[in-house]
Structure 1
């Protein structure tokens, strides 16, 4: 690193609202194994484990921008995921050190950032709100709100997002930010956590030359603050390639074939891989190190690298960086998350509130169907409750309640699924970087529905009635829709999974077949069915204490209405006594 760069780094760090500790990362003999897929076993592969990384050794240092380069299948993203702690399956061997200390993943999540290739954000937040949400949950709790706001403002200036401060993020390819702006937002969301090490998975993927140049300028700004930045890059242009300081080049099979500096104009790399005049070094190294070229030349570049002086230098560097400085201390935090459980819940609730308020389509659909269905049933079943002379009158009233419960309930369950699906995708990223645990997020999603469903119930009550039971009925249908999204890959599958339950709830509601007429071995599902409890409560609350005579279907006999509900439908009227 030149003296100029060092001065720029020092100036950058002195101007930072929140200081950070520059950290190195070194790794030695990293290997990664996964179980062989069934398809490969069918093709005759006899081994049980597939090795995706083979004894990879290297180091990343502060103030240097490092590129992980290789053709598809070389293992560059796999290596970065292993180092970042994103791989939860398979078997990892080797050692990973952070400033000389063995990496602890819970601690590492608090001092690192990870920019995914797909820019997933809550569409109904503004750029500033998205950054404040990340800062709220990831910066230490002892930092006051004013300092967090100042730091967010500083990060926005660093990544050139100030002109977009109040812009809604929107959905990719539909509205809101452009692809390049979303990429810079992804970087900024990680940067407001004040990390010392940042991983970026193909930050220029899908961008044109101008947009890629803007993103790389942003990345260089971050590097100049003294942070350790690592990027995977696939087929970079010459301008992007020469933005990097160091290169780790991998070949298919997860083997390292170059690890070292690029040099000005890539001259260090060119000294190692002789290049034809006029070629782009980035494209040249990918072409010349391909399996086809290796076979044609009769060489193994991984073996050549292992026998080179550069390999010995990197081994020595990794070994030196695997020992802590005398004055350093092991980084640790008292808790896994920077905020308490309640703090996480409040932050998630704040975001959910903004998302719901700025999504009028979702609310409008529910309220529109509520008004239409309540008007339809209110007029169709006009004064059904006043008629209770015959058995058919009771079944008519029961049928109106049954239909109202199912119609509005299923609408709620279906309409909430796409909304929850979008937020679930965002939550995967946010939980992976240690913003919050699953429970605060789930509680916030549930809590935000209470006021909306309450107002929906008021509308239904005005045009129909029984607000208490309908409120909780609409809630459990809405929560059921949320649950189906939580246990399925997407909202289309969730709709398919939910459909049989609607049929079963319908069948065992107690309207089509009364509980007393169900075979004894099926009655357990009646009690487990939430719709049956809604119908039980609604009918009993209206007729359970009425002792007026009710003419039965045969037209000859009469029984007290209360007794009919008990004997025919199994509905008991009681007040908990």
Structure 2
């Protein structure tokens, strides 16, 4: 009985904590923006490659104002290119490039790290890991985003509650999927994206085109869910392209944009009455959003049955008339609303005194990211194609050099080790960060974890496969090719190969992080490794002085020196003719490289090991950085 009571008390405590997360972790936020202007510089190339560039400034937003209070849902409408996403991104504090001017206030305070922590932002594209299940996706997000004051069990319970709230329980054990991997439906994916942001119970929720690509029924469910969230005291702002009439009347407020100009701001149910009052009134029933989008495009109607009370037909003139009407009829009323907000609104503290930059410790972030990465990439790291590729090359190599006791052949084998295990890990590592750029931008901009925790988890998570495959390769080829059968020689060779793998991997990580384009990084990486190979001391033994500097930064040369040192030593001889022996160090290829200086080679490779990873880390610092 005591155990049962204890369990009931624990359940009560857990439930009460969940209620705290849902209802009290954040405070309501009033979003106010006034005269928001956004400009970007467009650099134009001349006709010739070396001609000077001319800078042209483009204005994306042209003085947009508005206010959204807790419990309200604001829909930003407009055709493509009208500035909807730009405005949403600016309001969410996520614009990095360009020049943003105007006043954007959150409870009469500017955007801060504390505000960022209490803001949810759902992008138009659902950036999710395809091989994780719905449950794993939300649980890992909860472990990263919820405060460390909650236990793992409480965070998991909260993720389960979110799945239940969004109707995801039936698909919780199904993988998310992607373009080429079957998983959950598009509507379920969108709800998972919303669920990730709802885990922190945000005071302010931004959504970019949440109904894009969804059928009308699924879109209705999504918007209904958002309306219920708003009724719970949250402030919801979303962009939407062309909602149905059922969706349109769910919006508490509507902001209509055309080429960055506001054409209407007010209650959704009053929009048609406003445009009718300024002479733009359809004479037949139609979807209000369709009519508003036609007006924002400067088109009265493609349907001859729909007439408006205005003789204007030119699209530019229509837009100009609507902009003038907005300034004449709505701007003053909007200014009054903003001033009333300044007088009556009490600035919320948003837990600023208790705010810490990170929800969890570095080690907690690292461990969660490491486990998540291993789950997501296990299909890729241990793929049969990759393993089969290495095994085929290993046995082919073993057969070609079968029990070879010729020093020329063995030296060639050492260089093949160097070459193959430079290219293979480099090309694998180049894809690491470009593939995860969107995920990194999304999670970093929300302040989910430290970049150092992500970087360490990502690079260490790849080590098992990076080291297992070359080890298997070495075990197979070493004994098939007849190299020295002592443990010291074998482990020296294995160490040299693994050292080469780690350094080459670091170079690949740096190139991928700096360029962030898989094709360009692959081409550049291939050229660099090819240059290192040519200057490695095997193909060209007498490199001209003006290009010999390459060998000092060549991974291949230092690894080649270590591999030769693992098999040969000073004073050792080999058969060089009829009853004649020669010193190994006098063999032409070995003489060029030399059997000494192994310590220098290890130090040089160590500098490269840390240097390349440092470059990769610095390059990643620019990804996902939010402009405060």
TM-score normalised according to structure 1 size: 0.86
Contact 1:124 1:359 in 2 (8 A): no
Moved more, 533-542 or 315-324: 315-324
SS at match of 1:410: helix
CA contact (8 A) 1:263 1:269 kept: no
How far did residue 408 of structure 1 move? 4.5
The 1:351/1:282 distance shift into structure 2, 3 A limit, reads: same
Structure 1 residues 485, 151: CA separation in 2 closer, same or farther (over 3 Å shift)?
same
**Structure 1 stretch displaced more, 192-201 or 281-290:** 281-290
Change (3 A) 1:314 1:574: closer
In 1, distance between residues paired with 2:54 and 2:441?
35
Aligned mate of 1:493, from 506, 509, 520: 520
Aligned-pair CA distance for 1:98:
0.6
After TM superposition, give the deviation of residue 115 of structure 1 in Å: 0.7
Q: C-alpha offsets along residues 359-380 of structure 1, whole Å, 9 cap, x if unaligned?
A: 36x5323321221111111222
Corresponding residue SS for 2:22: coil
Shift of 1:234: 0.6
Structure 1 residues 566 and 36: alpha-carbon distance in aligned structure 2, compared to 1, 3 A threshold: closer
1:343 aligns with 2:367: no
How far did 1:431 drift? 1.5
From 584, 589, 595, the equivalent of 1:561 is 584
What is the aligned partner in structure 1 of residue 121 from structure 2?
114
Deviations 1:18-70 (A, max 9, x none): 6431111101111111114427999xx99843221122111111111110001
SS of 2:105's partner is strand
Asked if 2 retains the 8 angstrom alpha-carbon contact of 1:25 and 1:98, the reply is yes
The 3-state SS of whatever aligns with 1:97 is strand
Q: Report how far residue 317 of structure 1 moved.
A: 1.9
Aligned with 1:54: secondary structure? strand
Which residue does 1:8 correspond to in 2?
A: none
Provide the secondary structure at the position in 2 that maps to 1:464.
helix
Structure 1 residue aligned with 2:232, among 209, 225, 242?
A: 225
What SS does the corresponding residue of 2:395 show, helix, strand or coil? helix
Question: Where do residues 54-133 of structure 1 align in structure 2 (5 Å cutoff)?
Answer: 54-104=62-112, 106-133=113-140
Of 442, 446, 449, the match for 2:459: 446
Give 1:207's aligned residue: 214
Q: Per the alignment, do residues 40 and 405 of structure 1 end up closer, same or farther by CA in structure 2, a change over 3 Å counting? A: closer
Deviation digits for residues 240-288 of structure 1 (CA, Å, limit 9, x no counterpart): 2122111011122x11121111238976776676443311111111213
Asked whether 1:539 is paired with 2:564, we answer: yes
- Matching residue of 2:411: 398
Matched residue, 2:184: 177
Once the two structures are superposed, the pairs formed by residues 160-309 of structure 1 within 5 Å of their partners are: 160-172=167-179, 174-252=181-259, 254-263=260-269, 274-293=281-300, 296=314, 300-308=321-329
CA distance 1:502–1:328, shift in 2 (3 Å): closer
Deviation string 1:175-226 (CA, Å, 9 cap, x unpaired) is 2122222111111111112211111111111112222223223322322322
Displacement of 1:539 after TM fit? 0.9
The 1:76/1:130 distance shift into structure 2, 3 A limit, reads same
Q: Cα deviations across residues 126-181 of structure 1 (Å, max 9, x unaligned)?
A: 11111122222222222322222222112111211111111111223532122222
CA contact (8 A) 1:99 1:322 kept: no
Q: Which residue of 1 aligns with 2:508?
A: 481
- SS of residue matched to 1:101: coil
Alpha-carbon displacement from aligned partner over 1:330-351 (angstroms, at most 9, x marks no partner): 6536443323333332222121
Q: In the alignment, is residue 355 of structure 1 matched against residue 380 of structure 2?
A: no
Q: What's the secondary structure of 2:40's corresponding residue? A: strand
Q: Structure 1 573/173 Cα, relative in aligned 2: closer, same or farther at 3 Å? A: closer
SS at match of 2:526: helix
RMSD: 3.1
Q: 2:395 aligns with which of 362, 375, 379?
A: 375
Tell me the residue number matched to 1:159.
166
TM (normalized to structure 2)?
0.80
Q: Hey, what's the Cα distance between the residues in 2 that align with 1:540 and 1:327?
A: 71
Aligned length: 549
1:123–1:169 CA contact under 8 A, matched in 2: yes
Rounded to whole Å, the distance in 1 between the matches of 2:423 and 2:510 is: 14
Please state how far the C-alpha of 1:473 moved relative to its aligned partner.
2.4
Per-residue CA deviations over 1:406-450 (Å, capped at 9, x if unaligned) read 235423333455565433332222112221243322221210122
Q: Supply the distance in 2 between the matched residues of 1:147 and 1:40 (Cα, whole angstroms).
A: 60
Alignment pair present for 1:464 and 2:505: no
- Contact 2:43–2:55 (Cα < 8 Å) also in 1: no
Shift of 1:485: 2.7
Indicate conservation of the 8 Å contact 2:242/2:289, yes or no: yes
Aligned pairs (5 A) from 1:137-152 = 137-152=144-159
Q: Which stretch shifts more, 415-424 or 236-245?
A: 415-424
Distance in 1, Cα, partners of 2:287 & 2:163: 34
| Contact 1:373 1:407 (C-alpha < 8 Å) held by counterparts | no
Check 1:63–1:525 CA distance in 2 against 1; reply closer, same or farther (3 A cut).
same
Q: Which runs of 5+ in 2 are unaligned?
A: 1-17, 301-311, 479-492, 603-628
